[in-house]
Amino acid sequence: AELQQALLDVARGREWASRGAMFRMPIDRVFSVAGHGTVVTGSVLGGEVRSGDVLELLPAQVSVRVRGVQSHGAEVDESSSRQRTAINLAGVKADDVHRGQELAAPGLLQPTRRLLVRLKCLASSPVALRDRLPVGLHLGTGETAARLVLKGATIEPGASGYAELRIAEPVVAAWGQRFILRRQSPPLTIAGGTVLDPGVEPRARIADLAALGQALDSTDEGSRLSACLATRDRIDETPLTAAWKVGIDPARYATLVERLRSQGVLVPIGSASSRRLVHKQRVAAVAETVLRRIGTVLEAHQPRRSLPRKMLQTACRRLATAELLDAAFDRLLADNKLVRVGPNLGPADAQVKLSKNQTAARAKMLELIQQGGLAPPNAKELVQVVGQKAEMIEPLLVLCVEDGRLVEVGDGLYYPPGALESARKICEATLAGGTAATMSQLREAWKVTRKYSVPLCEWFDANGLTIREGDLRRAGPGLGKPLVE
């Protein structure tokens, strides 16, 4: 009698799912009836079910159709929350259904093998909850093996904490759902808990269990939704999945998303034709990971301190979606953690380590280029004259460009800024007063061969110093501006 009264008191104090909620029913019995086929029974957790409804058998994700519904031994038009219910199913054999599975509205729940939970270790437990402890998970009507992930922490008897459950077989759950943990041998109940994230993504890395657990444990729906979305590469949750993931009313989903967007918590990424929202914390987290990866990539390309953006993004392609990578790179540039080095990108604090041979080769190379004036040795000639392999000389040339010591003109030609300034002054004098000149005339003015005049003229055109009109060139808008301060 005392137990009965206690159960009634709990039932009266519980906020039961209202009509109109999505259907859920854990299966506790399965049998076959001649002439009818498969029948399952259970207690409806929420929503209603009627003959003709299409449901999903989980975690198998099999679509089934309701042939008939009974409650307490009588045929009924529908059964709803809190009622014991028997459902005659079409589309599945009795041998393919078992206790522990669940029937739900299609798309409501997703199978998972990872749950983020709040745990309470029983004061009577003879053992503390420790990292990697094997346990028996009792969830819904099912039981399966699981292992605790506590990131090195321990939850003592009588204490509470946050943990992740790594489960041997797929299960389904929803935010706020209760469960029990039992010691496997000898069998004993040691803890109970509440599901906070019923669908931790397979490859997700949770850096701070306590922080994420506390955020998902909030009584504020917006805070829970924000915490959930902060772990996602993209916001593809629907009102249905949001209800499953964080326990919010599907009718309030759009309002909460708009509130987070207006607060700047959710930011748009992607092109104008495929805009998506993503949590700003997710962009920041990916950006930091990208910056570390770029450092690793540059280590392998020493003495380079920068590389083309496309090459860097290719090296980071497995870290996130292409849209999110773009947003992360833009964030790093905006925060000046990445800087533009000519056409390339590199960390603002990148350090270059040169060996003695590389230092000597760079000095010799710069000396030869400086001595060459407007006719310096090109990259191939430098390899021969300096006496080092192209694998050493070419990165050193790029490094000198990044340092501002050289300017790449084209065709393997590199000039000191001072030499280009001399070429500019000569060109300015040649084209003074609106005069036009052919490449041959400029070549004679520069006193170089065609080997140098062609790339020089093309570089002057590309940088607005000259304007080409057929075979002639006239002064461009940049010709009167010094190249060296």
Report pLDDT for 8: 65
- Is the pLDDT confidence value at 12 over 60? no
**What value does the mean pLDDT take over residues 97-114?**
95
| Least confident span in 88-102, 298-312, 464-478 | 298-312
User: What share of the chain in percent tops pLDDT 90?
Assistant: 70
- Is the pLDDT confidence value at 20 over 90? no
Report pLDDT for 13: 52
Q: CATH second-level architecture of 356-415?
A: Orthogonal Bundle (1.10)
Can you name the residues that pair with 37 across neighbouring β-strands? 33
- Categorise residue 464: left if φ over 0, alpha if ψ from -120 to 50, beta otherwise: left
**Structure confidence by residue, pLDDT tens digits, 84-94:** 999 999 999 99
pLDDT band (50, 70, 90) for residue 422: very high
Handedness of CA 226, 228, 234, 236 (dihedral sign): negative
Report pLDDT for 18: 45
pLDDT band (50, 70, 90) for residue 341: confident
**Structure confidence by residue, pLDDT tens digits, 170-210:** 999 999 999 999 998 899 999 999 999 998 877 677 878 88
* Average pLDDT taken over every residue of the chain: 91
pLDDT band (50, 70, 90) for residue 28: very high
Q: CATH second-level architecture of 417-475?
A: Orthogonal Bundle (1.10)
Which residues are CB-contacts of 7 (< 8 A; sequence separation ≥ 6)? Answer: none
What pTM does this model have?
Answer: 0.71
Report the distance separating Cα 49 and Cα 470, nearest Å.
80
pLDDT band (50, 70, 90) for residue 19: very low
pLDDT band (50, 70, 90) for residue 11: low
Residues of the chain with CATH 2.40.30.10: 2-104, 112-210
What are the CA-CA distances from residue 146 to residues 132, 197, 483 (Å)?
9, 16, 68
**Structure confidence by residue, pLDDT tens digits, 345-387:** 999 888 778 889 999 999 999 999 999 999 999 999 999 999 8
**Structure confidence by residue, pLDDT tens digits, 459-473:** 999 999 999 999 999
Report pLDDT for 16: 43
Quick check: 313 and 329 in contact, CB under 8 A? yes
Report pLDDT for 402: 84
- Is the pLDDT confidence value at 17 over 50? no
Residues of the chain with CATH 1.10.10.10: 417-475
Q: Which residue has the higher pLDDT, 408 or 276?
A: 408
What does CATH list as the number for 112-210?
A: 2.40.30.10
- Is the pLDDT confidence value at 333 over 50? yes
Q: In degrees, to the nearest 5, what angle opens at C-alpha 121 toward C-alphas 116 and 127?
A: 115
Name the nearest CA neighbour of 172 among 248, 82, 102, 249: 102
Q: CATH second-level architecture of 2-104?
A: Beta Barrel (2.40)
pLDDT band (50, 70, 90) for residue 134: very high
Report the distance separating Cα 63 and Cα 117, nearest Å.
29
What are the CA-CA distances from residue 80 to residues 11, 14, 85, 251 (Å)?
16, 16, 8, 20
SS3 annotation, the chain: CHHHHHHHHHHHHCCCCCCCCCCEEECCEEEEECCCEEEEEEECCECEEECCCEEEEECCCEEEEEEEEEECCEECCEEECCCEEEEEEECCCHHHCCCCCEEECCCCCCCEEEEEEEEEECCCCCCCEECCCEEEEEECCEEEEEEEECCCCEECCCCEEEEEEEEEEEECCCCCCEEEEEECCCCEEEEEEEEEECCCCCCCCCCCHHHHHHHHCCCCHHHHHHHHHCCCCCCCCCHHHHHHHHCCCHHHHHHHHHHHHHCCCEEEECCHHHCEEEEHHHHHHHHHHHHHHHHHHHHCCCCCCCEEHHHHHHHCCCCCCHHHHHHHHHHHHHCCCEEEECCEEEECCCCCCCCHHHHHHHHHHHHHHHHCCCCCCCHHHHHHHHCCCHHHHHHHHHHHHHCCCCEEEECCEEECHHHHHHHHHHHHHHCHHHCCEEHHHHHHHHCCCHHHHHHHHHHHHHCCCEEEECCEEEECCCCCCCCCC
Report the distance separating Cα 144 and Cα 170, nearest Å.
9
Pick the CATH number of 282-347 from 3.40.50, 1.10.10, 1.10.20, 1.20.1070: 1.10.10
Quick check: 47 and 53 in contact, CB under 8 A? no
